[in-house]
Chain A
């Protein structure tokens, strides 16, 4: 079966760094995605990892270790607008399986 785990909620202050971990066990693996979803809105694409290592894109970075079934999303220089749910999703046989999301709350 499929199992994608990430923490339910994280709180951090403006300007800080937050790391959201995601562990997965899937029957197939063709890449891992991170999406951002603001309340009541559609998810928007943040990053994609298919090989081990770190992908950096501005304030956001994503890391993947396929042997450990582990990824993290790093958010730097947090801004209030970063308050949202962050979804980890694994491409398994051409279909995306999503985790439940991590609600990040940024406080002043």
Chain B
């Protein structure tokens, strides 16, 4: 069973608020990812990291930012939330040493911006 945790699971906030979505994994994985998924739509990669102090933007442009100060922790921040940021955010990690490199996903954070 994967050990990757996201908080909060659900968040409803007003426009203009700053929010941080937390993601932690206890598997020692170097690679971590943030995906954004709207209902019934595909997952879009918005950020990824190959290790401590490594962060890259994904294929879908996002106003969010990420940091990777510790291997196990990969938080995502929105400085000023807007209704267009309403979505589900999924964090994932992978171990490049495995033959498949499969992703292990957290439960997701469902964000609603009013």
Q: Which residues of A contact B (CB under 8 A)?
A: 2, 4, 30-31, 33, 41-45, 48, 50, 87, 89, 91, 94-101, 103
Contact = CB atoms under 8 A, between A and B. Distances in A.
Interface string B3-47: 000000000000000000000000000000101000011111100
B103 A45 contact: yes
10 contacts: A31-B101, A42-B90, A43-B105, A44-B105, A45-B103, A50-B100, A96-B103, A97-B59, A98-B43, A98-B44
B105 A98 contact: no
Given A31-B101, A95-B48, A97-B59, A41 B107 contact: yes
Contact of A96 (B40, B41, B45, B108): B45
B41 A100 contact: yes
B79 interface: no
Contact of A91 (B35, B42, B101, B105): B101
Interface of B: 33, 35, 40-45, 48, 58-59, 90, 100-108
In the A-B complex, the 4 residue pairs with the closest CB atoms: A42-B105, A100-B42, A48-B100, A98-B43
Contacts of B45: 95-97
Q: Tell me if B's interface is mostly helix, strand, loop or mixed.
A: loop
Contacts of A96: 33, 45, 103
Contact of A48 (B41, B43, B102, B105): B102
B42 A42 contact: no
A101 B108 contact: no
Nearest to A2: B59
Contacts of A48: 100, 102
B100 A42 contact: no
Contacts of B35: 98
Nearest to B9: A40
A59 B114 CA distance: 44
